[in-house]
Chains A and B, each alone.
Chain A
Amino acid sequence: GQQVMQIPQYQHVQEGEDFTTYCNSSTTLSNIQWYKQRPGGHPVFLIQLVKSGEVKKQKRLTFQFGEAKKNSSLHITATQTTDVGTYFCASRQSGGSYIPTFGRGTSLIVHP
Chain B
Amino acid sequence: DGGITQSPKYLFRKEGQNVTLSCEQNLNHDAMYWYRQDPGQGLRLIYYSQIVNDFQKGDIAEGYSVSREKKESFPLTVTSAQKNPTAFYLCASSPGGASGIEKLFFGSGTQLSVL
Chain A residues close to B by CB (< 8 Å): 1, 6, 9, 31, 33, 35, 41-45, 48, 88, 90, 92, 97-105
Contacts and interface: CB of A to CB of B under 8 A. Distances in A.
Contact of B42 (A42, A99, A102): A102
A88 B43 contact: yes
Contacts of A35: 104
B103 A45 contact: yes
A44 B102 contact: no
B31 A44 contact: no
Interface of B: 1, 31, 33, 35, 40-45, 48, 50, 58-59, 90, 94, 97, 102-109
B106 A98 contact: no
Contacts of A44: 1, 106
B58 A99 contact: yes
B40 A99 contact: no
Contact of B33 (A42, A45, A88, A100): A100
Contact of A33 (B33, B102, B107): B102
A101 B112 CA distance: 22
B104 A100 contact: yes
A44 B105 CA distance: 7
Contacts of A97: 50, 97
